[in-house]
Amino acid sequence: MRFGVVVFPGSNCDADTFHALNGVLGCDTVYLWHKDHDLQGVDCVVLPGGFSYGDYLRSGAIARFSPLMQEVKRFARKGGFVLGICNGFQILLELGLLPGAMLRNKNLKFICQHVHIRVENAGTVFTRRAAEGQVLRIPIAHFDGNYYAPPAVYRRLEGNGQIVFRYCDDSGQTDEAANVNGSLAGIAGVINAEGNVLGMMPHPERAVESLLGSTDGRFVFQSLIDSPAGRGRTTRRPS
Amino acid sequence: MKARILVAFKDSVLDPQGQAVKNALLTLGYHAVQDVRQGKVFELDLTGLTREEAERLVPEVARKVLANLIIEKFTWELLSDTAATDETL
């Protein structure tokens, strides 16, 4: 699988993401400049973390208008894989490829720490190497990660198995204390109904080498790498 | 011609920054303050438009760019140049 890492002015996890994909996991990876129109034949577009365009106005609000993002939108609509991490997740929300919006963290602090997230749907192309209910330890680093969606949208996400990750404690319990940023129902990652676009606030690219404290981020990338080049779909959660 | 757009969180959306400001005001003894909602103000300087064109453009850019309608709402008005100048005095 060929990966493309999008670079916006203000991206600051682009090199980390490239390193994780290419240096650690050995994948064919290219950088994609935000002003270009060419996706260079990649199978998966990764929108990395950072502060695209300074995050002025709202996080991700201006990045969505860049020329490359119009191509990414078409690519996603045709079933191409798109992974948005942190600021990349915020951009996908602003772009309308994923439902909902981000509010400032409930404690009004920039939170930079390792957290635990529970895999709520292990049937997606981004999580199939993990087990349902598995607890991953992956760092977060954000100011605006307090996920919000209107009640009707939340019910649809829940019903379709589109909630992929929830914040939890080390034993997998989701409660108020584990929900570090105040997200609706502790949501840390959501996927679109078609199952090819995932947004997540935690940074899997910062958790691929034991030297850095965790290798749990590999589950996300390895799931993608091992997936057939065909189109992934979400699966319903077993009830 | 100037336009002023006010963007604020919808009533149904929690506003943590407004809450922090409210708590500060209560700490200072302003007990009459029941709630605070924090928003953003945009002032656009417009040129080459008729009033009608401006009335179309302003809500369009508010919807498309300035506000995220999932969490925010907006109001807008056109200001005459004199009114805008007076405001800055």
| pLDDT at B75 > cutoff 80 | yes
Is A120 a known active-site residue?
no
**pTM for the complete prediction?**
0.89
Report the distance separating Cα A159 and Cα A8, nearest Å: 34
* Structure confidence at residue A231 (pLDDT): 39
For chain A, helix (H) and strand (E) counts, in that order, are: 5, 11
Pairing of strands A111-119, A163-168: antiparallel
Check CB contact under 8 Å for A104 and B13: no
Residue contacts between A and B (CB atoms, under 8 Å): 34
* Structure confidence at residue A61 (pLDDT): 92
Residue located via tokens 């916006």: A8
Do A231 and A79 touch, CB atoms closer than 8 A? Answer: yes
The total domain count for chain B is 1
Of A58, A65, A104, the CB nearest to B17: A104
Domain ranges across chain A = 3-226
**Chain A: residue nearest B65 by CA?**
A61
Report the distance separating Cα A187 and Cα B49, nearest Å: 45
Which is it for the CA torsion A204, A209, A210, A212, positive or negative?
negative
Do A145 and A91 touch, CB atoms closer than 8 A? Answer: no
Residues of A in contact with B16 (CB under 8 A): 103-108, 146, 182
* Structure confidence at residue A55 (pLDDT): 85
Check CB contact under 8 Å for B70 and A150: yes
Of B17, B65, B70, the CB nearest to A101: B70
In the sheet where B72-79 sits, what is the strand order? B39-45, B2-9, B72-79
Q: What is the CATH number of domain A3-226?
A: 3.40.50.880
Residue located via tokens 């404290």: A213
Please state the ipTM of this predicted complex.
0.81
Report the distance separating Cα A31 and Cα A14, nearest Å: 8
Please, what is the angle between helix A67-77 and helix A87-95, to 10°?
Answer: 80
Q: Give the pLDDT confidence of B6-20 residue by residue, as tens digits.
A: 999 999 998 988 999
Q: Give the pLDDT confidence of B6-58 residue by residue, as tens digits.
A: 999 999 998 988 999 999 999 999 999 999 999 999 999 999 999 999 999 99
CATH number at residue B76: 3.30.1280.10
CB of A100 less than 8 A from some CB of B? yes
Is A44 a known active-site residue?
no
* Backbone angles phi and psi of B71, in degrees to 5: -120, -15
Active-site option among A86, A116, A120, A168? A86
Closest CA to A44 of A63, A27, A59: A27
Chain centroid, CA A223 distance in Å? 13
Check CB contact under 8 Å for A106 and B66: no
Q: How confident is the model at residue B88 (pLDDT cuts 50, 70, 90)?
A: very low
Secondary structure (3-state) at B77: strand
Residues spanned by the domain of B46: 2-88
Chain B residues 13-32 within an 8 A CB cutoff of chain A: 13-14, 16-17, 20
Instruction: Tell me the two tokens of residue A232.
Output: 């992934």
Instruction: Tell me the two tokens of residue A105.
Output: 């963290």
Instruction: Tell me the two tokens of residue A144.
Output: 């605006």
Is A203 a known active-site residue?
yes
Q: For each of chain A's 239 residues, which pLDDT tens digit applies?
A: 999 999 999 999 999 999 999 999 999 999 999 999 999 999 999 999 999 988 889 999 999 999 999 999 999 999 999 999 999 999 999 999 999 999 999 999 999 999 999 999 999 999 999 999 999 999 999 999 999 999 999 999 999 999 999 999 999 999 999 999 999 999 999 999 999 999 999 999 999 999 999 999 999 999 999 987 533 333 333 33
